[in-house]
Structure 1
């Protein structure tokens, strides 16, 4: 009958523990509001969940879930090295996908998944939440309008804290490789991957062909295989470059940010806050705050209305070039005892604070140099 309201789209959440719990809660809230229907959840551990709506199916894995019925959309929040295979299975079954970042653990997997998504005619949104913010488009417009003059370079920084418990959260945590597979759980490719992806988005360099070369400078303070304190120089088509400096061994958590430097000023995007600070000599700083669209909401709107995705898989190509350089380049170097402080934390946990790392990150951005190029003592 004409005028009948279509039923809300059915959504499944695969991976409902760890970060997946935030996805599950968003879907539960949207279900309660009538914007979608939680059709099913899947996870090997389903014994500690919030109350689920009546009729929600429970499965141990995605294969079992799809065998019982394919929803319109699947949210995948599973270990990095499982992303490619699970996303492939979901889109081949006929579902659209919200895939947690990084989308794949290797460039080869990215290429294969991209071809599969295109052949299946499905949508694949990558979970770089910051790309759902209107702040990214605002910065692009301000740069295009010449507010900072000619762009001289892009940079990104993040000073966060991770403890031993973080690296004990899962068997794959803190690994570059595990059981012969690439895992890519380093600072640049997982916890602070948003710094890289958001900077590439601001620079208009999200596709694979937009990144021409990547230099990495990787270290670890914790007893892990992957990096926790890292710098990278990303060369972009057109001659500009992006300098990234991050750490998970700061004294305290600071807000990560992306900077556009120009001949007439600079713009800083605090991407977790959706806040932009524009600084032009002779003028007071201009601070603006922007709305953010949840990427699942955006995916469902794209399904219904044909609007473009805010974070489509193809736009993770540039980020994947960086990831590939991180996991195939020189292994992260350990920082020697004496350059960091061990902190005893409740419950037998331990933190590690790299002395002066905040100043090192600031210097890297100021000098547009990696940590090793700065000649810092702990890099020798």
Structure 2
């Protein structure tokens, strides 16, 4: 039986969800009951809506009243997630909420409580949660093959033009009109890296404290675009180093390191590699670990509805991530990187930052400890 789905937020990343819903509609598993966006949609998106015979609303309330969807997919600014998800669940729908679920921990706990009280399911759109890689990593360390887990780290170096930070009113901002939005490198473009590090470290459901952070920006923005963070806990180091001002691009990757080797996961391509001696990744002799195809979070939510199980990424799994996001907002403002360290204007790059990111991540260091002259 086809499940009636509504998409709220068609433009921007919403287009990815529209294409995904159209793909699922072709299999008969879903019907796009309606879509909603406050802005005019792009012509090609409009053609997809027409082909699916899905009406387009500019009022969320009218969409819920008129179409009564079984599932609502929310691709809206983070500050709107809690009220919009609450409305959908109160109307009898289950929800898939784009990441981050909320900016504040108390909002996340309210979302958890509301879903439980109303008996609704909520899936958070950390798409890489559908990968089998974290399960394979956990199985490998449980078997003792690589010794005890000592460090989980991630690194990533992307380049974003100034237009990226103007893509929406909340882009590049920590606060907008008094509301927390937290659009920093760690909380948004590299959110999957952070979420997966915490997941593999086994600290997803806790409001973890004790994070050390160093936040900087090369671009003329309020939020961070070049960031390092570290958590030390029970002999395990969890740390990340990332930038959106790369002088050399490195796709984000995550490493789970033990005493006798490591596993490296490039989550954007869902490739997992086993490095038994600590040098195989560099010299090209690492062993590729076979993974089943990753699970799509919307079909997973549909399956959870049918089976009564919990979806892959419920809000409770996001508490540690949200605790850190809140720490980033409430801590010191990101510091500007001096102009003498920058080159270019579109995009802006930080000289030597990619090597720094890779080195700091592997060493479990913050930027200031890894030799950044601007930190």
Same fold (TM over 0.5): yes
Contact 2:70/2:94, CA 8 A, preserved across alignment: yes
Shift of 1:54: 5.1
Q: Which runs of 5+ in 2 are unaligned?
A: none
Matched with 2:298 is: 296
2-side partners of 1:80 and 1:28: how far apart?
24
Shift of 1:340: 1.1
Displaced runs of 4 or more, over 3 A:
none
Partner of 1:31, secondary structure, is helix
1-side partners of 2:41 and 2:349: how far apart?
36
2-side partners of 1:54 and 1:81: how far apart?
30
For residue 257 of structure 1, the aligned residue among 243, 249, 253 is 253
Matched with 1:130 is: 128
Q: Which segment is superposed worse, 21-30 or 56-65? A: 56-65
Q: How large is the RMSD of aligned CA atoms in angstroms? A: 1.6
Taking the TM superposition and a 5 Å limit, the aligned residue runs for 1:99-248 are 99-209=97-207, 211-236=208-233, 238-248=234-244
Contact 2:250/2:354, CA 8 A, preserved across alignment: no
1-side partners of 2:362 and 2:248: how far apart?
21
Contact 1:148/1:267, CA 8 A, preserved across alignment: no
Matched with 1:10 is: 4
Q: Which segment is superposed worse, 43-52 or 19-28? A: 43-52
Matched with 1:361 is: 357
Q: Deviations over 1:5-37 (max 9, x none)?
A: xx3110010001000100011001111221110
Partner of 1:361, secondary structure, is helix
1-side partners of 2:146 and 2:311: how far apart?
28
Taking the TM superposition and a 5 Å limit, the aligned residue runs for 1:73-84 are 73-84=71-82
Shift of 1:82: 1.2
Matched with 1:58 is: 56
1-side partners of 2:209 and 2:220: how far apart?
32
For residue 43 of structure 1, the aligned residue among 24, 37, 41 is 37
Contact 2:185/2:224, CA 8 A, preserved across alignment: yes
Aligned residue pair count? 365
Q: TM-score if structure 2 supplies the norm length?
A: 0.94
Matched with 1:285 is: 286
Partner of 2:368, secondary structure, is helix
Partner of 1:158, secondary structure, is strand
Q: Deviations over 1:333-359 (max 9, x none)?
A: 00010101114xxxxxx2011111111
1-side partners of 2:53 and 2:16: how far apart?
21
